């Protein structure tokens, strides 16, 4: 299937008092209708900024997209003006955020805020109100007519996130970007929200870009995974290949350190070292200082994305060596 969104070599920076931080450094991936791609990474890896760059909602006044192409059905979004982009936001492109409490306006009713999605794109308020009722029902909120008149602080976290989803779906988006949608929720609620998202995806055929740091969520939701580290994608694989046959040393170490993989009585496996500073990326591979398979050659130049034996892409020049080392263990 042809991808509906193509990101090519996206570079975004943030101006900080300590200099320019390249939060997103040459990131490329595709989104396919009906499929979910997860971007996984730790805090500070640049995954949220990537999402915000697509929507062009970078934090003011410090964030800027430097270069790259973001093609939505062939059209480069980075060429658009604010008002042209506005046409896409809330219609073809929708986004939900991590903190549903602060993401909803505390002084307007739920009904008002959901209906606004319709009104912002040319609908009338009465259309909006009708659609709001439908949407609240669709996202599984009981007594939607009562909730319409309530305020955000009167709802639970799970309900608020459902409202956010309702807002996002109002105009039948082609792409839904979800930035850590379940991080702020309890585990049980998490499962409900994720299954709701899957249902709707099947029904509407939209592509989902899921940003998360939780590998469990990835396993449940994703079809394709991009692993981000230090502003770059270090591995791009189908989900089952990622878990069964990880290629990049970072992915390998990440999976090793999952609590589920630990053995009773033994020390927890951790990844030694720290992430380099975003204002001062090292010349070569950014994982080299923590990688157990690295050689001096790794620090000379930035490794390109290469295709591994199993078809995944990984940003490493030592893939065969890594594979060998693991096979012999």
Residue 121's φ and ψ, nearest 5 degrees, are: -115, 30
| Closest approach of other proteins to the CB of residue 160, in Å | 11
* Distance (Å) of CA 113 to CA 36, 131, 156: 27, 12, 17
Asked if 127 touches other proteins (CB under 8 A), the answer is no
Residues 6+ apart with CB under 8 A from 266: none
| Closest approach of other proteins to the CB of residue 95, in Å | 5
| Closest approach of other proteins to the CB of residue 58, in Å | 10
Coil, helix or strand for 234?
A: strand
SS3 content of the chain, % helix, strand, coil (to 5): 40, 25, 40
Candidates 68-76, 112-120, 126-134, 293-301; binding stretch for other proteins (CB under 8 A)? 112-120
Q: Which residue has the tokens 């020390």?
A: 267
Asked if 70 touches other proteins (CB under 8 A), the answer is no
CB closer to other proteins out of 39 and 308: 39
Coil, helix or strand for 219?
A: helix
CB closer to other proteins out of 61 and 259: 61
| Closest approach of other proteins to the CB of residue 156, in Å | 15
Candidates 29-37, 90-98, 188-196, 266-274; binding stretch for other proteins (CB under 8 A)? 90-98
Q: Are 54 and 44 in contact (CB under 8 A)?
A: no
Asked if 88 touches other proteins (CB under 8 A), the answer is yes
Asked if 277 touches other proteins (CB under 8 A), the answer is no
The overall longest dimension of the chain from CA atoms, in Å, is 67
| Closest approach of other proteins to the CB of residue 82, in Å | 7
Q: Are 234 and 248 in contact (CB under 8 A)?
A: yes
Asked if 82 touches other proteins (CB under 8 A), the answer is yes
Asked if 121 touches other proteins (CB under 8 A), the answer is yes
| Closest approach of other proteins to the CB of residue 216, in Å | 25
* Distance (Å) of CA 202 to CA 34, 69, 133, 197, 317: 7, 28, 21, 9, 38
Q: Which of residues 27-56 bind other proteins (CB under 8 A)?
A: 55
Q: Is the four-CA dihedral 301, 304, 307, 308 of positive or negative sign?
A: positive
Asked if 156 touches other proteins (CB under 8 A), the answer is no
Q: What is the dihedral of CA 22, 25, 29, 34, to 10 degrees?
A: -10
Among 1, 43, 61, 329, binds other proteins (CB under 8 A): 61
Candidates 29-37, 86-94, 138-146, 226-234; binding stretch for other proteins (CB under 8 A)? 86-94
CB closer to other proteins out of 52 and 242: 52
Asked if 291 touches other proteins (CB under 8 A), the answer is no
Asked if 164 touches other proteins (CB under 8 A), the answer is yes
| Closest approach of other proteins to the CB of residue 322, in Å | 36
Asked if 125 touches other proteins (CB under 8 A), the answer is no
Asked if 84 touches other proteins (CB under 8 A), the answer is no
Q: How many residues does the chain have?
A: 329
Q: What is the dihedral of CA 151, 156, 159, 164, to 10 degrees?
A: 60
d(CA 147, CA 159): 10
Which residues of this protein are in contact with other proteins, per CB under 8 A? 16-17, 55, 57, 61, 82, 86-91, 94-95, 97, 99, 102-108, 116-117, 120-121, 151, 153-154, 164, 167, 170
């Amino acid at each position: 299937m042809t991808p509906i969104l193509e990101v090519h070599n996206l570079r975004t920076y943030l101006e900080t008092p300590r200099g320019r931080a390249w939060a997103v450094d040459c990131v490329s991936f595709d989104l396919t209708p009906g499929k979910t791609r997860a971007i996984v990474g730790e805090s500070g890896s640049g995954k949220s900024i990537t999402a915000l760059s697509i929507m062009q909602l970078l934090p003011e006044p410090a964030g800027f997209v430097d270069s790259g192409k973001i093609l939505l059905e062939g059209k480069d979004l980075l060429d658009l003006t604010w008002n042209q982009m506005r046409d896409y936001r809330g219609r073809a492109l929708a986004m939900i955020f991590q903190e549903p409490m602060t993401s909803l306006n505390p002084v307007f009713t739920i009904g008002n805020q959901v209906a606004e999605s319709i009104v912002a794109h040319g609908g009338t308020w009465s259309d909006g109100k009708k659609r709001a009722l439908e949407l609240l029902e669709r996202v599984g909120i009981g007594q939607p007519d009562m909730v319409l008149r309530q305020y955000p602080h009167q709802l639970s976290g799970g309900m608020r996130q459902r409202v956010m989803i309702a807002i996002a779906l109002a105009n039948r988006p082609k792409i839904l970007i979800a930035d850590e949608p379940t991080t702020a929720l309890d585990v049980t609620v998490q499962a409900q929200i994720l299954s709701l998202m899957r249902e709707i995806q099947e029904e509407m055929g939209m592509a989902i870009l899921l940003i998360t740091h939780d590998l469990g969520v990835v396993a449940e939701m994703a079809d394709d995974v991009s692993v981000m580290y230090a502003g770059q994608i270090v591995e791009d694989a189908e989900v089952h290949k990622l878990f069964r046959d990880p290629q990049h040393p970072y992915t390998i170490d990440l999976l090793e350190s999952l609590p589920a993989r630990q053995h009773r009585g033994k020390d927890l496996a951790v990844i030694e070292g720290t992430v380099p500073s975003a204002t001062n990326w090292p010349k070569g591979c950014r994982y080299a200082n923590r990688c157990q398979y690295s050689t001096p050659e790794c620090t000379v130049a930035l490794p390109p994305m290469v295709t591994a034996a199993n078809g995944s892409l990984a940003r490493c020049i030592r893939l065969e060596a890594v594979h060998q080392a693991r096979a012999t263990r």
